[in-house]
Structure 1
Amino acid sequence: MDQPVFRLAVADDLDAIVGLLADDAIGSQRETINPKAKRSYETAFEAIQKDPRNSLHVVVIRGRVAGCLQLTFMPCLSNRGGDRAILESVRIASELRGQGIGRRFVRYAVDLAREAGCVQVQLTTDKRRVDAQRFYATLGFTRSHEGFKLMLGPDDRHT
């Protein structure tokens, strides 16, 4: 296999990134490759690129975007004011899983967090992603918290 290249995402990567996010049973429920939705993804991509504490990364193999992740640095008061790195939307193309690419990609992100002076890297994964949970455990991530989410939508009005 050709060596993977890890780099910052560029606008031309966006269709491939959205495809990766939509390419499983869970992701396909919330993501779409429908061209009508493209502007919302472009707007989010532009906002991430403008924020110096946020970045999108891809892994490229044989000229193809084969994985993606978002890395966010968040200042915190806890841990003596140490910054945290948050990993989101970590994906590897389904046909390439199990080949060590994801392991190297997450280590790349952890190294970026370390270089930025972060004291902790955290992530969440859907409880239904049992394989992902095992994968993160092999990288040294521990189940330290119980996560909660509240989805907000146009019909969710709090007065």
Structure 2
Amino acid sequence: MPALIFRKAVQTDLRTLILLLADDELGQNRETVSDPIADCYIRALKAIEEDQNQLLVAVLEDDQIIGCMQLSYIPGLSRSGMWRGQIESVRIAPSHRGRGIGHRMIEWAIENFRERGCGLVQLTSDKTRPDALRFYSSLGFAPTHEGFKLSL
């Protein structure tokens, strides 16, 4: 297994992270790959950096970003004030898929949530991504809720 480094993403990572997020049909319709980087991404990264309950993670192998994910630490009143961990924007470079890296990323995220005192880890995946749905199920995530979104 190759050594992976998990670190907080920084502004110089943005172009690579945006390219990862735009790597499939859904992402191509949602992300804006441009040079220079669109201001919306710079503002978003700044907001993430300033929020102690957000962590944008760059995953590196041999000093190259090969994956990313965003972790959110969510306080809640329900379940006796339990904190939840939310995993979003999980992406792996196409050249690195099928090597167990996604599994290692999710394990790292779960351990990170445990260390922060979260009692539950949740995530969503678009219904049009059957491979992702199978992947998360194989890791023990159960589709216990129906999710809804409203674009504003």
TM-score by length of 1: 0.92
State the match for 1:156 in structure 2.
none
Q: Matched residue of 1:26: which SS?
A: helix
Distance in 1, Cα, partners of 2:8 & 2:30: 24
CA contact under 8 A between 2:15 and 2:37: conserved in structure 1?
no
Detail structure 1 runs of 4+ shifted over 4 Å in the superposition: none
Question: Structure 1: 5+ residue runs without aligned partners?
Answer: 153-159
Q: Secondary structure at the match of 1:119?
A: strand
Q: Count how many residue pairs are aligned between Structure 1 and Structure 2.
A: 152
Report matched runs for 1:16-55 at 5 Å.
16-35=16-35, 38-55=38-55
1:117 aligns to 2:121 (yes or no): no
1:12 maps to 12
Q: What is residue 97 of structure 2 aligned with on the other side? A: 97
Cα displacement (A) at 1:141: 0.5
Mapped partners of 2:141, 2:93: distance in 1: 22
SS at match of 2:58: strand
How far the C-alpha of 1:2 sits from its partner, in A, is 3.4
Distance 1:37 1:10, change over 3 A: closer
Report the counterpart of residue 81 of structure 1 in structure 2: 81
Report sequence identity in percent.
47
Report the RMSD for the aligned CA atoms in angstroms: 1.1
Cα shift at 1:46: 0.4
Cα offset, 1:111, TM superposition: 0.5
CA–CA distance in structure 1, aligned partners of residues 105 and 43 of structure 2: 25
User: By how many angstroms is 1:6 displaced?
Assistant: 1.2
Normalising by structure 2, what TM-score?
0.96
